[in-house]
């Protein structure tokens, strides 16, 4: 069967929910960040697939993916700065310890 | 079944298998490496779709930037060779159930929906077309988001420096203690 839009949508849905599973089960902040990256990637794949198969006369999906990649990079950098700061004060990066951040 | 189809299925299977390994493995460094392979497979799918520019951006930003950042932060925060603690079984089961239900619902919705394609002629997403579109201020141009994203990146950079900066108060007493200890030893 020739792969088309539905195949890519299946792939991106599966990637999204694998990321959600990781986000729900992991308790380490860095692995949770990795799950978020998986989720963002599946969204990018969706945008590109819709652009390629449904609206090939425009390039809006491509630009949305580009901007999502840029925002993901900024988000990862800020998250890792916060994680390293948390590690300095608590010597661990579990989410249970992150509650203390608000005090 | 031609070559292109086989390549697509191969890339898709690689992406899914490595993603699943990345969220289930108990060694955090391996999780980062599996994530790297997933991202490369997704870049391969972009190449397969003939969106070469976005594939190149994916490799440069994700593989070259974010994964390296994650690996560095693992080095900084993790005792090497130590496994992550085991997750509770009931949490795993409930997460698996929730994820499976969401997946089934979404797939059902997707396969029941019919998508309509346009008949207009396609534009090839060459770098020239992308660059022209990105810097146009006319209707449908992306000049404003482009500028906003540059401001966002600058703000994120400054924010990271401020957050990760060591507080000076904590260092100074430490140094004085070190000096006193040094004197005592001498």
Q: Is there a domain that residue B130 lies in? A: yes
**Which residues constitute the domain of residue B141?**
126-186
SS (HEC) of chain B: CCHHHHHHHHHHHHHHHHHHHHHHCCCHHHHHHHHHHHHHHHHHHHHHCCCHHHHHHHHHHHHHHHHHHHHHHHHHHCCCCCCCCCCCHHHHHHHHHHHHHHHHHHHHHHHHCCCCCCCCCCCCCCHHHHHHHHCCCCCCCCHHHHHHHHHHHHHHHHHHHHHHCCCHHHHHHHHHHHHHHHHHHC
Q: Is there a domain that residue B179 lies in? A: yes
| Domains identified in chain B, total number | 1
Helix (H, G, I), strand (E, B) or coil at A28: strand
pTM over 0.90: no
Give the residue on A whose Cα is nearest the Cα of B11: A11
Q: Is there a domain that residue B98 lies in? A: no
**Averaged pLDDT, B56-66:** 92
| DSSP 8-state class, residue A26 | -
Q: Is there a domain that residue B103 lies in? A: no
| Closest by Cβ to A34, choosing from B70, B129, B145 | B70
Helix (H, G, I), strand (E, B) or coil at A93: coil
Q: Is there a domain that residue B69 lies in? A: no
- Averaged confidence pLDDT in chain B: 86
The answer, yes or no, to whether residue B143 has pLDDT greater than 60, is: yes
Domain range annotation of chain A: 5-94
User: What's residue B181's pLDDT?
Assistant: 65
Q: Does A89 contact chain B (CB < 8 Å)?
A: no
B84 to A18: CB separation less than 8 angstroms, yes or no? no
A15 to B15: CB separation less than 8 angstroms, yes or no? yes
User: What's residue A3's pLDDT?
Assistant: 84
Q: Is there a domain that residue B68 lies in? A: no
The CB density around residue A22, as the number of other CB atoms within 10 Å, is 26
CA-CA distance, B16 to A54, in Å (whole number)?
A: 24
Q: Does A101 contact chain B (CB < 8 Å)?
A: no
User: What's residue B80's pLDDT?
Assistant: 62
Q: Does B16 contact chain A (CB < 8 Å)?
A: yes
Lowest mean pLDDT among A75-89, B16-30, B79-93, B115-129: B79-93
Inter-residue contact A28 to B28 (CB < 8 Å): yes
Structure tokens at B34: 């599996």
CA-CA distance, B141 to B127, in Å (whole number)?
A: 15
Q: Is there a domain that residue B92 lies in? A: no
- Averaged confidence pLDDT in chain A: 89
Q: Does A79 contact chain B (CB < 8 Å)?
A: no
Give the domain A5-94 fold: Helix Hairpins (1.10.287)
Q: Which of B25-29, B51-55, B140-144 has the highest mean pLDDT?
A: B51-55
Q: Is there a domain that residue B81 lies in? A: no
The answer, yes or no, to whether residue B170 has pLDDT greater than 60, is: no
């Amino acid at each position: 069967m020739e792969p088309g839009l539905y195949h890519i949508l299946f792939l991106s849905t599966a990637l999204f929910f694998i990321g959600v599973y990781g986000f729900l089960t992991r308790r380490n902040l860095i692995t949770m960040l990795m799950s978020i990256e998986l989720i963002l990637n599946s969204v990018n794949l969706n945008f590109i697939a819709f652009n390629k198969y449904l609206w090939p006369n425009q390039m809006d999906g491509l630009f949305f993916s580009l901007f999502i990649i840029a925002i993901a990079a900024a988000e990862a950098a800020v998250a890792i700065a916060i994680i390293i700061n948390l590690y300095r004060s608590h010597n661990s990066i579990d989410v249970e310890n992150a509650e203390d951040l608000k005090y | 079944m031609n070559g292109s189809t086989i390549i697509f299925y191969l890339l898709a299977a690689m992406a899914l298998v490595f993603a699943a390994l990345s969220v289930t493995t108990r060694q955090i460094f391996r999780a980062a490496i599996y994530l790297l392979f997933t991202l490369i497979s997704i870049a391969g799918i972009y190449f397969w779709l003939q969106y070469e520019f976005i594939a190149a951006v994916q490799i440069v930003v994700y593989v070259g930037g974010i994964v390296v950042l994650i690996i560095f932060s693992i080095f900084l925060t993790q005792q090497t060779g130590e496994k992550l603690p085991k997750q509770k079984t009931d949490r795993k089961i409930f997460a698996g159930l929730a994820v499976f239900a969401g997946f089934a619902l979404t797939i059902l919705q997707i396969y029941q929906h019919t998508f309509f394609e346009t008949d207009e002629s396609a534009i090839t997403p060459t770098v020239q077309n992308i660059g022209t579109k990105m810097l146009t201020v006319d209707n449908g141009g992306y000049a404003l988001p482009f500028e906003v994203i540059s401001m966002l990146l600058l703000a994120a950079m400054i924010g990271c420096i401020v957050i990760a900066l060591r507080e000076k108060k904590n260092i100074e007493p430490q140094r004085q203690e070190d000096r006193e200890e040094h004197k005592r030893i001498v």
